[in-house]
Each structure stands twice: as structure tokens, then as C-alpha cells.
Amino acid sequence: MARPTVFITRKVHHEALSLIGEECDIDLWEQDKPPPHQLLCNRGNNVDGIMTNMMDRIDVGFLDAAAKLKVISQIAVGLDNIDIVEATRRKIPVGYTPGIVSEVTADHTMGILLASAHRLAESERWVRNGQWKIAFHPLFWLGSEVHHSTLGIIGMGRIGSEVAKRAQAFDMKILYNSPTRKPLVESKFGAKYTTLDALLKQSDFVSIHCPLSKDTRDLIGAKEFKLMKSTAILINTARGPIVNSRQLYLALKSHAITYAALDVTDPEPLNADDPLLTLDNIIITPHLGSATESTRKKMTMIAAHNLLRGIRGDTLIHCANPEALKKH
């Protein structure tokens, strides 16, 4: 009996490859850049399973090409690159890796929040460029205080809750906006539910943790920047298109807001001539939210188990569309 074949769209930890290789023949994309979409479709033509990355577009075109496909296993929490509705219609379960990234992404969020508040990247460049001529000056490199400030969290899911937990240690006042209220978060961290407009008006720091959808694309644009304090700092570790990049540039350039810290961008990666890269009052990191050895290994191993379970017809560890496996 022929072994199942799987396509893995990026190099992953060798333990995961070994696990998958025990049961399947592996077609591994070894280049660092994602496979072009047409190549993705061609390679998916005769596979039983695919392990994807958030940069891989799994749309109707791919699904039409992948007629044998039994499972999609994504190494990520977000699934905005996958047509879940179409996969479900075709009874293809979609695995993902929730929970694993919450704490480490919250750590990174607080890291770039603090770095923005104290202008760490900007001042570090100043030192490296040989501009440090004065040892200390009372009016040089003034930043923003974090303790006792107001943090507005947009999207109070797992990651947003972990950010609230960390913010509590800085005695921050926590506001949040989310599709549903979170009584447990309110009681544990003293978070207050409010409208998005009220959150933007009152917050010193605005941190985005909602998923990307048609409702959240360009959620933060010209109108929203006008509502924010001129001293406000925007942090986005969710998905780049939630913030309108052009309007963010204009808000930072005109100092309508003070600073921004992005771990995600639109597009991603940014083009070398993107105007955001000309600004000093922004920190941009290359999607590092889950980038620790331990977390990425855990994500990859869960994705490997999801892949194998889907090929066997078993229940996935984490499935975004369990209805795909329901018998009709």
C-alpha cells in the first residue's frame, strides 16, 4: 500500500520531520521564501496533506488543484490566509496551534511597548551613529511613562488577556474592546469594557490583538488616529492589515500620535522603500511574536500531529472547523 504524501511549505524542526516521515513521504520546500502560489498549487496536486505557514494562500484555486487533500495543518494561530469556508465545504479539516503563542507574544508586546515608551531603538541608533556628544541633559530623549498609564487592548482573547496580566504589574489602567465581554478578565485584572472610540480617546497605549477579518481590515485608519491622544503609542502584534499603513505613516509624520511599534506590517515583509521606514518614531520587528526556540518547536510538533491525525481520519488536536468531519 502506497504511503501518504505531504507537502511542507517551509523547513521545520527535525523532530517534526522525523515524526511525519515515519508515516508519510515528504515533499519539503527548502527555500526560506514562501513558494509562489502557482507552484503551491502544482505541488498540492497529488498530496494527502499540507503543512502551511501564514504566508501561504490556501484559496479555492489551491483547493481545486489539491483533489486528494485530506487535511491542512497550519503552523500558526491566525488562519486569515486559508479559505476555511471552502475547506469545510470540501470536508477538509484545518489544524492550527492556539494557546502555544499567547504568553510569548504577550512578552514581545510588552517588550516593544516599553521600547517605544523609552525610545530605545531610536536612541540606540543615535549612539551607534556617533551622535552621542553629551553625557546627560535634562531635556534629551524624553519618553513616556508606562506605570499608572492607560492601556487600551483591542481584542481580549488569549493574547490580549496575557498582555493585561503583564500590564497589571505596571499598575496600568486597562480598557478593552472585544466582540464579547470577558467577566473573568475584568475581575482578575480590573479591565474595563468600553467602546472602541472611547478606548482610543482615553488610552496612552493602544495594543491590537484581534484576528484579521473583513470587519477588522483597516480597523485603525484616519478617523481612529484623530480620536487618539497626540501622546499615544500604537502597538500591533496581530496582523498588519488591521492598521491602514498609509494613515499610520501620516499620523506619525504629523505627530498626530507619538509613536508606533509593529511586529506585523502590510505588506509583509515591507518593501525597502516603504515610507514607514523613513520615520524615527516607529519600531518595526520582523514578525517575532512567537520566535523562541521552545515556542516554535511546540507549534511545529502540534502541527505535525494535526497533519498525521488528519491523514488517518482522526480528530485533530486543534481544529478550526470541526464541522468538516461531521458525518452527513
Residues noted as catalytic: 239, 268, 287
Residue type (1 letter), 305: H
Local structure of residue 67 (DSSP, 8 states)? T
CA-to-CA distance for 19 and 22, rounded, in angstroms?
A: 6
**Residue 204 Cα distances to 1, 221, 232, angstroms:** 62, 17, 5
Report DSSP letters for 146-171, one per residue: -TT-EEEEE--SHHHHHHHHHHHTTT
Question: Beta 94-95 vs 173-177: how paired, if at all?
Answer: unpaired
- Alpha helices by DSSP H, 47-195: 60-65, 84-89, 102-117, 120-128, 158-168, 183-189
Amino acid at 292: T
